[in-house]
């Protein structure tokens, strides 16, 4: 694994069910926040990528839920780049609570796509440069 970052999140009431447990569908949003934070820590704005014609749609998304997260929990999302990106980029995630208990593991693969043609493109050179110089 390459570059790893940690993103802190707090579970909001609206993200839980009647039992106070985080609804599983909200985990995809947690990963998205962590990916954007990962890029930001490299000095890359996802908004700027999109403005420059690069989109990153999700190709695969995989979760393994080990323990529940609850309303008001403080979560740590560890995001790791699995390998140097090509036309796609793969991240591995671990989500912990404040007691350092592993709650969830996940991975996601996204594809670099030209926003006009909607066709896959190679990873932008500026992102590869940041990764290689990290």
- As a whole number of angstroms, the distance between CA 110 and CA 77 comes to 18
Residues of the chain above pLDDT 90, percent: 97
* Residue 13's pLDDT band (cuts 50, 70, 90): very high
Per-residue model confidence as pLDDT tens digits over 38-86: 999 999 999 999 999 999 999 999 999 999 999 999 999 999 999 999 9
- Under the banding of pLDDT at 50, 70 and 90, the label for residue 31 is very high
Is there a catalytic annotation at residue 17? Answer: yes
CA distance 124 to 134: 16
**Do 5 and 41 form a contact (C-beta atoms < 8 A)?**
yes
Please tell me whether residue 131 adopts helix, strand or coil conformation: helix
Give the pair of three-digit tokens for residue 9. Answer: 């999140």
Count the neighbouring beta carbons within 10 Å of the beta carbon of residue 21.
14
| Nearest CA among 4, 134, 13, 3 for reference residue 71 | 13
Beta strand 102-111 pairing with 113-114: unpaired
């Amino acid at each position: 694994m390459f570059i790893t970052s940690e993103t802190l999140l707090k579970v909001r009431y609206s993200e839980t069910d009647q039992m106070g447990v985080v609804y599983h569908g909200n985990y995809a949003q947690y990963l998205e926040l962590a990916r954007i934070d990962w890029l930001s820590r490299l000095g890359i704005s996802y908004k700027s990528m999109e403005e420059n014609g690069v989109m990153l749609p999700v190709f695969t998304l995989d979760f393994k839920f080990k323990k529940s997260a609850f309303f008001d929990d403080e979560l740590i999302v560890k995001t790791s780049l699995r390998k140097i990106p090509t036309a796609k980029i793969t991240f591995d995630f671990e989500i912990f609570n404040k007691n350092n208990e592993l709650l969830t593991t996940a991975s996601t693969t996204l594809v670099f796509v030209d926003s006009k043609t909607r066709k896959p493109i190679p990873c932008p050179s500026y992102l590869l440069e940041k990764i290689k110089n990290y």
